[in-house]
Amino acid sequence: VIKKILIVGGGPAGLMTALCLSQHSVEITVIEKQSWPLDKVCGEGIMPKGYDLLRKYGVSKQIQALSSRPFTGITYIDSSVAEGHFFSGPGYVVRRTELSRALYESLKGKTNVTLIPTTELVSLYQDPTSVQVTLRALSNQHIICEHRYDLIIGCDGINSKVRKLADLEGPNLRKQNRIGARVHYQIAPWTTQVEVYWKDGIECYVAPVASDCVEFVFGWNQDKIKIKQGRCPELEKKLFSYFPELESKILGHHRLSKIEARGGFARSAKFPISGRVLLIGDANVFLDPITGEGLSMAFEQAHILSQSFANIMSKEGQRSFIDQIQSLKARYINMTNLALFLCEHPLIRRIAIRFLATFPLIFQHILELNMGTRSLCDIYRSQKGISFFKTEFFEVK
């Protein structure tokens, strides 16, 4: 029986996992290296499926309208413009600090959850009955305790220490390194969509965060603009110079956050669970920000864990948990690889975007496929299926 759980990492995956599991009769401790509310380089877009889970667990009530905004779909902008609208209601762009605060507030009333900031995991050792961990307080570098837990959940991000210590490190998912950067500007949004501007080897996502705030997120291959030790002189100027149409939009507007970059994506675990150690969020898998799925993936994994929790220590329970997580992961990796393929093949990308611009319903379906809210079979079988293909392919004027 699992009574005591340690969650390592209090990012969105860690806090959401604590929230989902707080419904069970277990004692949960969350340790986090930094202090809440946390910020992080991120596109801040939460897909409809991810936001539905925030709604289901009551977090959406805590999110303030001043730091969040619904978006209706994704627009791809290259030599042509393709607009895809979600079938399944809007997604939300939520400032990372606001998301962190809302998750933290949702956990405050839970008597079985303890949140400990500025504390890190140093080591772990598991035997068949428990896991022993060593924790360090970062305020004074003292080892604060050596504790035993029934289950450790690693939610400690891309470079997960839990993954390494539990020998769950999987193969690198990609050879070429990509980098992401973000900056916020005080501008009234000009669209209700998240826009993706594609240029060769670099893209910019424009996310409307609030009535007076727009976030610009850049993704590029390392060889396009090199970053050394997290630094690059005049990075923001270089990035915007690839997008003159956006450069003119920020002209004369106030910058709300300094540009920050982050690289070294594409990490994955062999398995999401090994004995009494389990991984959720980026610690389990992260390939690239390009599909804007990282947060929703983390929330879905936390939800699956909560639903499988009663049997998680049995062989069949673990098998079923692994199957569900691996199929989620496979969908995410396939869709992200498809988007990265378009990044790297400009001609095919232009043809694809022109196609999606001509057949917006297909774009809608691809967005739903990406979220897993529809499968190819669902689309084919759907009532509209036949007429959809007829209209799309044969009756377009």
Ligand X SMILES: Cc1cc2nc3c(=O)[nH]c(=O)nc-3n(C[C@H](O)[C@H](O)[C@H](O)COP(=O)(O)OP(=O)(O)OC[C@H]3O[C@@H](n4cnc5c(N)ncnc54)[C@H](O)[C@@H]3O)c2cc1C
Residues that bind ligand X (CB under 6 A): 8-14, 31-34, 38, 40-46, 120-121, 155-157, 161, 180, 182, 217, 262, 281-283, 286, 289, 292-296, 298
Nearer to ligand X, 78 or 215 (CB): 215
Tokens of 324: 């569900």
Nearer to ligand X, 42 or 206 (CB): 42
Nearer to ligand X, 189 or 379 (CB): 189
CA distance linking residue 263 with residue 238, whole number of Å:
17
Task: Please state the closest distance from residue 48 (CB atom) to ligand X, in A.
Answer: 12
Task: Please state the closest distance from residue 292 (CB atom) to ligand X, in A.
Answer: 4
Tokens of 177: 């390194």
CA distance linking residue 202 with residue 379, whole number of Å:
32
Sheet with 273-274: strands ordered across: 113-116, 27-31, 4-8, 151-154, 277-279, 273-274
Tokens of 41: 């380089």
How far from chain centre, in Å, is Cα 169? 20
Nearer to ligand X, 162 or 379 (CB): 162
Nearer to ligand X, 156 or 368 (CB): 156
Task: Please state the closest distance from residue 287 (CB atom) to ligand X, in A.
Answer: 10
| Strand 213-221 with 202-210, pairing | antiparallel
Task: Please state the closest distance from residue 82 (CB atom) to ligand X, in A.
Answer: 19
CA distance linking residue 198 with residue 96, whole number of Å:
24
Task: Please state the closest distance from residue 158 (CB atom) to ligand X, in A.
Answer: 6
Nearer to ligand X, 179 or 379 (CB): 179
List b or e across 334-359, with b for residues whose CB sees 16 or more CB atoms inside 10 angstroms.
Answer: ebbbebbebbeeeeebeebbeebbeb
Task: Please state the closest distance from residue 269 (CB atom) to ligand X, in A.
Answer: 12
Contact, 269 vs 282, CB < 8 A? no
